[in-house]
Amino acid sequence: MFGLLTPSFFMKLAGMCLLATGALSVAIAETVIVVGADSEVSALSADQARSIFLGKTTMLPNGVPAVPILQDEESPVQAQMREKILGKSAAQLQSYWAQRIFSGKATPPKVAGNDAEVKKYLTGTAGGIGYIDGSHMDDSVKVVFTIK
């Protein structure tokens, strides 16, 4: 009976608990795609967002040139954005932009270090679009898509 309570059993149990906790924290966090509060854009689809952030679409739905901003690759919201909207790992996204730059097809978006920098950028940039942790929302930006 006590043969099951080996150190390896406890290691496996601890690992499963860590995985469950990590999955729970990712499920709770909500990343939102935002534009400046004064933007005429009120909603985007996941496909529209993907096209804008990958530089395939250069205009917002209201006809204003899109000026996307990404977050630093260490950011948890950047990981959620990459995985759920762009469908790319960090390495794949770097490779994608390297190819686009080399071929002259596009210039990569600017990169911000955190949510506050994204909000500041969007406030002063016509056509600006970015993403932040939903818990950092304020009246300087508005949500056009929620990443779940």
Entry pTM: 0.79
d(CA 78, CA 110): 13
Specify if 127 maps to a domain. yes
Report percent pLDDT > 90 for the chain: 72
Specify if 1 maps to a domain. no
Specify if 128 maps to a domain. yes
The answer to whether residues 5 and 55 touch, using CB atoms and an 8 Å cutoff, is no
Q: What is the mean pLDDT of the chain?
A: 85
Residue 100, CA distances (Å) to 46, 60, 94, 97 in order = 21, 20, 10, 5
Summarize the confidence of residues 104-133 as an average pLDDT.
93
Is the pLDDT at 125 greater than 90? The verdict is yes
pLDDT at 127: 96
Summarize the confidence of residues 120-136 as an average pLDDT.
95
Specify if 126 maps to a domain. yes
Specify if 118 maps to a domain. yes
Q: Where are the beta strands (DSSP E) in 7-66?
A: 31-36
User: pLDDT tens, 38-93?
Assistant: 999 999 999 999 999 999 999 999 999 999 999 998 888 999 999 999 999 999 99
pLDDT at 28: 37
Instruction: Report the relative pairing of strands 67-71 and 110-112 from DSSP bridges.
Output: parallel
CATH code of residue 102: 3.40.190.10
The answer to whether residues 67 and 128 touch, using CB atoms and an 8 Å cutoff, is yes
Specify if 18 maps to a domain. no
Is the pLDDT at 108 greater than 50? The verdict is yes
Specify if 78 maps to a domain. yes
Domain containing 88 equals 30-147
pLDDT at 24: 38
The answer to whether residues 144 and 33 touch, using CB atoms and an 8 Å cutoff, is yes
pLDDT at 105: 83
Specify if 122 maps to a domain. yes
Residue 143, strand partner residues:
34
User: 3-state DSSP call for residue 31?
Assistant: strand
DSSP type of residue 78: H
Residue 23, strand partner residues:
none
